[in-house]
Chain A
Amino acid sequence: MSSNTLRIAPLAIAALLAAGPALAQGEVNVYTYRETGLVKPLFDAFTKDTGIKVNVISASSGLEQRIKTEGANSPADVLLTVDISRLEDAVQNGITQPLNSKAIEQAVPAAYRDPEGHWAAVGMRARIVYASKDRVKQDTITYEELADPKWKGKICIRSGQHMYNNALFAAMIVKHGEAKAEEWLKGLKANLAQKPSGGDRETARDIAAGKCDLGIANTYYWALMNDKEAQRKPWAEATKVLLPTFQGGGTHVNVSGVAVIKTAPNKANATKFVEWMVGPQAQQMHADVTYEYPMRAGVPINKTIAGYGDLKRDPMPLASIAANRKKASALVDKVGFDN
């Protein structure tokens, strides 16, 4: 090793240690599963509004475990995440605390927050079907129908173990029971055009290229590709969006949400942050920046998303989806969905 490196290294270490988390007033520390680039405009607007600085750690997994392990000294104030199961997981891990906030109770309908106040949804998305404009004639579809052999070799989907799919499969268990859901999953597996892989955007891409006719994806991807991603616009243009429903039910939805951490060193700021996230300005940003359905009544849905048609949400409680997630994940293994 060069003498230069030897000289620089201790300085670098000292500098980085000094840059560790400061716990002074006027800050809120957010641990998030959301992409920083996507939520940064929200954080910036919050800071502008309140003068409270937002410090961020983003990751794709393990944040609950990290907070739990960090224990009493954890700098975490808020967990901002997608997927109902992760919110319920955080509660079950005992790392959250109830927030009895009138502002939240008024802004978020009861179905979209924890009855004891441990978490609240800030946005909603649905797991829907993208279909080829050329090759798919029908404009309505049910989730059950996706297992119909008429679609053999025509469906694309990402890994069955991805949380978005796990939640959908869990909802299927809630609707029809484990045995029926297993049959359905086998049928869906038999209809796949290729091994589950890639992400939701690739699903649209594969439909555009003719690899498959139907794909399962979240609501916001199509809108993002259509409105904001010039290179991917052709994929959106080659596909149409169907809002599927369960037979005799509605569309499967999931949420992104927030929870305040039990050991939050800046609890007052954390509460402000959560209340701000369900306020009119933040909710409008959720609609137009992250393309989610806003939680707050009176905040208009983004135009492109509204163009999909009226979303009829299935009335099943979100908690029941989280409760069946492990079973869904086990079924994915059992039918060899990803193999």
Chain B
Amino acid sequence: MTATELHNAIPRPARRRHWPISHPVATVFLFAVAALVVAPLLSLILFAIQGDSELWPHLVAYVLPVATLNTILLLAGVALVAAVAGVGTAWMVTAYEFPGRSTFVWLLPLPLAFPTYIVAYVYVDILDAAGPVQTALRALVGWRSAADYWFPSVRSLGGAILVMGFVLYPYVYLATRAMFQTQSATLIEMARSLGASRWRLARDITLPLARPAIAAGLALAMLEALNDIGASEYLGVQTLTLSIFNTWLNRSSLPGAAQIACVMLFVVAALIALERYGRRRQSFTGLDRHPGIARRIPLERGKKWLAALGCLLPVGLGFLIPLVYLAQEVVSRGLLIGFDPSLFRHTLTTVAIAAGATALTLVLGFGVVFALRLVRRPFAQNCVFVASLGYAVPGTVLALGLLSPLVGIDEAINWVTRTVAGASVGLVLAGSSAAVMIAYAVRFLAIATGFAQAGLARISTELDDAARTVGTRPSGLLWSIHLPLLRPALWGAALLVFVDCLKELPATLLLRPLNVETLSTYIYQFATRGNFEEGALAALLIVLVGIVPVIRMTRHADEAVQAGVTPARGWTA
């Protein structure tokens, strides 16, 4: 008897099984999706260990301290602005009645439609020494030049924090508002009738209950800020992401850049793990038998205008002012009259790629979460965690890491076609828009898995077991029970992923095939030559295409609340 046979012969306690068979399809799917995310990270690590160790002392001495400090300050600042603006406005529109409230409900998420770097360009134009504000100020006070007085500079860390904070707060607003809406109305009414003050109510009931939603929204906002290159570069803020870029380009050191990226990735993974650890014992609390919106309190004279102003400020700064500025540039530069016909094609391309990528992301994201529900093992948990890591990788780095595995697959395909048909087919994946879509999917998978987990958490596993006892197969369970119940979550994820794909720049720039431009890359052409205003029409088009899904997302969330099913929390894994 060999050792193996001996080993197999020893009786072991039967493992508890949740399903009669161990779901080979679901298991393979879990590993495949995790591998898709791991592949670019792995090739990044391979780059990192290729050498250039002499660069480290330099990076540690001169680059990393400043870049790390700037990054921490930037993220903390953005988190603060986004939390105050996002939670504050979400609370106001949910709890109070004031002029314009119903308009603000859908106006407030709109900054999401703006790529951050465009808003940065707009504010430099408006607020810089030669801009309309300072010019008017000089005329008013009689100063002769910008050297005569002090004016806060947009091109600074503070400027970057404000710009990013007011563009990214909608992540917090959307997540938190959905949570506020589904909070037990009974609980709030009860506290009110017991004489709890508004602040007490917010401090002791509403905010603690909304904490997971706020954390999830903040995580998204901070990761977006971390990914940014365009705005930080233009505003002169040396972040880690920008250092990766500079190390790669100016030292021709891909290994060095990959090393910084690995450090950053490690930190982000630790942060995500910490956030999950912090939430581990929280059970889902939003399940009220009668989830309803608590009665909104009408505000008195002074206060109601204050509330309106409080909502106008973030949406004005993050959306209305940039929108009006771009529209004015479009008109004054005659961009509509001299309409660039290629813009029409670029718009279609952008929408098609974003739609394709969204579909792919949803299939993969909801697929892994569904598979996790079937498999229910620690390794499956880990696969889903790994699948959500792509969000933490800056687009440029992700694109670089993705290229090698894609080319590898292409070379395998070519080997097969050469052997079978005697002809090469070229770069099927790496040389087509598929590369861009796969990059988007890897990057935005976390949004889909987050929504899917939040949505599935609301569907009792008892339902699965009940279905199982009447002989439903896993696929039937998915199609006829889970998917219909998951509709709100699917919608939420689809819209958010779609809008993010519309705006994506760094990965698109690096991976798009010959003759393909998206609106984002089109604007970038002008922006890199310091002529971004010429791209104003394209910027408006991104915003216009993006507005529709953002408004739809808000409305849909409301309908879902009325129906009693809302993916209220857990946007990230």
Contact = CB atoms under 8 A, between A and B. Distances in A.
A100 interface: no
A326 B256 CA distance: 13
B450 to A, nearest CB: 15
B146 A210 contact: yes
Interface in B474-509: 490-491, 493-494, 509
A205 interface: yes
A325 B249 CA distance: 10
Contacts of B515: 19, 55-57
Contacts of B251: 326, 329-330
Given A59-B509, A66-B510, A20 B414 contact: no
Interface string A309-339: 0000000000000000110111001101011
B129 interface: yes
A94 interface: no
A209 to B, nearest CB: 3
A99 B134 CA distance: 54
B375 to A, nearest CB: 24
A2 B355 CA distance: 11
B286 interface: no
For B61, B129, B147, B355, the residue with the greatest tally of chain A CB atoms inside 10 Å of its CB is B129
Contacts of A6: 359
A195 B252 CA distance: 25
A58 interface: yes
Contacts, number: 218
B134 A198 contact: no
Given A9-B358, A71-B407, A211-B147, 10 more contacts: A17-B428, A19-B432, A37-B525, A59-B510, A60-B528, A61-B396, A73-B426, A73-B427, A159-B236, A336-B66
Contact of B148 (A35, A92, A210): A210
Given A58-B525, A60-B528, A326-B251, A19 B433 contact: yes
Interface residues of B, number: 83
A199 B128 CA distance: 13
A10 B251 CA distance: 42
Nearest to A234: B130
User: Nearest 3 CB-CB pairs, A to B?
Assistant: A210-B145, A197-B236, A209-B129
Contacts of A325: 250
A15 B512 contact: no
B236 A196 contact: yes
B66 A339 contact: yes
A50 interface: no
5 contacts: A9-B356, A13-B437, A66-B403, A73-B431, A325-B250
Contacts of A210: 129, 144-148
B236 A195 contact: yes
A264 to B, nearest CB: 13
B118 interface: no
A79 B19 CA distance: 57
A148 interface: no
Contact of A198 (B332, B396, B530): B530
Given A29-B514, A209-B130, A330 B58 contact: yes
A62 B252 contact: no
A62 B510 contact: yes
Given A70-B407, A70-B430, A205-B128, A21 B514 contact: yes
A182 B332 CA distance: 45
Contacts of A330: 58, 62, 251
Interface in A285-331: 325-326, 328-330
B405 to A, nearest CB: 10
Contacts of A9: 355-356, 358-360
Given A210-B148, A235-B130, A35 B411 contact: no
